[in-house]
Chains A and B, each alone.
Chain A
């Protein structure tokens, strides 16, 4: 990877900050000249087009793009310079839907969700609904960022939050290269603090899962083998324990797309994704049971479509208009980035899908 940048693409006024530009790249070149099949053509081979939404199971809410890190691969283009933050009013609208939707999982993401000033209020209110699995995607370093956040492990514990955190490798070099200098040490400290309050321990109900996504232009290896290697290394080197490892493929959008192009890996990466296409992963891709809600309340099939500004194909566009019937069985909006979720064993925010 190249030297990590300290500003988002948006702040740098990069062309690739614009979703239109990203979609152009994903539709032109090797996909336009027929060298590789489009995702639509590929899933049509097995009569899986159009991809249809099934019963809603997961509400994934992006409470803002602000983050204390500027990771090289970030599909959100998050960073300290991003000011898009969900208001309490939109959170209230989300709470109304959480109560009525029947979704069994609530998944808060960002940016660093903890940086939203109403994050704790939202967690407290959402926890009252009694949802089965309440996930917060924490980048770990936020726990160590400053004293405002030091009590997060206790806060998570109080509301029985399922903590899911990124960790690209068990070594310092590979982690810091992707996520920034000092991220590895801060993440290790944060994991130890989560372990200290009971998170991630073998018989504990306080769930701590890690997300592995590759540090460069290659696909993730076998999830079970990676989990074994992570567990062994983190326990031996730092005494850290966790429950599951989710292996996630980097999708070719936003900052990862920028990296692929700058490092002249874009075409090879797209080839790798298409060659690893697994038709049996298509049936279980997360967009079919998930609704992604942006910081300003708009609805998307997934967090990636949110960043590409591809809204749901429905009359209902905003959380304030939520209507279960109108959203069910909607056609999922697709483009070539979707190959990222159907490569190998498939990929979702919960890891492999097959």
Chain B
């Protein structure tokens, strides 16, 4: 039994999820592939969105995959870091905006 929850080489085995549920697995990968095709957004823009979400989701597999994907597309480290800050800003904003809920509650109970 492995001693850690995450193993980098597991990323290579992602495709194997279809082995235990072929229909759903195939549908997922078909959808996934379609999402990342060039559309109203470029594949480059989608790669940066994926990288930012990978960080907000704190998924090490996704960070590994979309950092490499970005490099392959010629995306610079400055662009990658800016994208991550967008994710971080939304994350912290999402926390802080709930402060209004706290304020509402305080005002109601103790205003």
Q: Which residues of A contact B (CB under 8 A)?
A: 169-171, 173-174, 212, 214, 216, 218-222, 225-226, 229-230, 271, 275
Contacts and interface: CB of A to CB of B under 8 A. Distances in A.
A275 B74 contact: no
B72 A275 contact: no
A275 B43 CA distance: 21
Given A174-B76, A221-B73, 7 more contacts: A170-B74, A214-B72, A218-B71, A220-B72, A222-B73, A230-B74, A271-B12
Contacts, number: 32
Contacts of A216: 71
Contacts of A219: 72
Contacts of B12: 271, 275
B59 to A, nearest CB: 18
A107 to B, nearest CB: 26
Contacts of A171: 76
9 contacts: A169-B74, A169-B76, A173-B76, A214-B71, A214-B72, A218-B68, A221-B74, A225-B42, A229-B73
B44 A225 contact: yes
Interface string B52-74: 00000000000000001001111
Nearest to B15: A275
Interface in B75-101: 76
B72 A225 contact: no
Contacts of A169: 74, 76
Contacts of A170: 74
Contacts of A174: 76
Contacts of A214: 71-72
Contacts of A173: 76
Nearest to B47: A221
Contacts of B73: 221-222, 225-226, 229
In this complex, the member of B44, B73, B74 whose beta carbon has the largest number of chain A beta carbons within 10 angstroms is: B74
